Structure 1
Amino acid sequence: MLEKIADKWTIMILTVICPKPSRFNEIKRRLDGITHKSLADALKRLERHGLVTRTVLPTAPIGVEYAITPLGHSLKQPFEALCSWALKNGGELEAACTRYDQGKH
């Protein structure tokens, strides 16, 4: 189950669309480094798992908007806790990696 919600892009995509629905290109602009294909694949996966909805907008040209579902929104608190933990302990994790790497001459 964790592989469906805990990968790098899933957390970042849900963070972007949590405050308000967003169009594909808006999400892509806000996620530095994500490719078009990676974003498209991730959004399809999130829609399949019931974490986002995809709505075709009656505009010219046709637009698509993604919104977080109540199920997706329920991940906000755990994700915020994870981000807080990472910010608090990031230095310690890096120091542990350095110690480990230095011991592996």
Structure 2
Amino acid sequence: MSDCNAVVILCTAPDEATAQELAARVLGEKLAACATLLPGVSSLYYWEGKLEQEYEVQMLFKSDKQHQHALLSHLKQHHPYQTPELLVLPVMTGDKDYLSWINASLN
């Protein structure tokens, strides 16, 4: 069993400006140590019974378990989507120095 405290939170945004704004807010509140923004992803999904396809920005927030709930709440509150993608992926292990940096950035 891993004792790693880090998590990666996935969230999509409708465009780069929205992603930049959300990332800046999250980092400003020290809810994540890093936000990686990947523009140009194509998402296909069913919404209200209809197949949709959108070009979005995939956001990856590197944080920890202590900030996870506040980060999810913050994203949900400030996100333009009615039902934003909010998924938490546990980090099993990683580079010791990088994990230490995440911890130091959040505390």
Given the two structures, how large is their TM-score scaled by the length of structure 1?
Answer: 0.30
Answer 1 or 2: higher relative contact order, Cα 8 Å, separation at least 6.
2
Greater C-alpha radius of gyration: 1
Whichever structure has more helix as a proportion of its residues is 1
Whichever structure has more strand as a proportion of its residues is 2
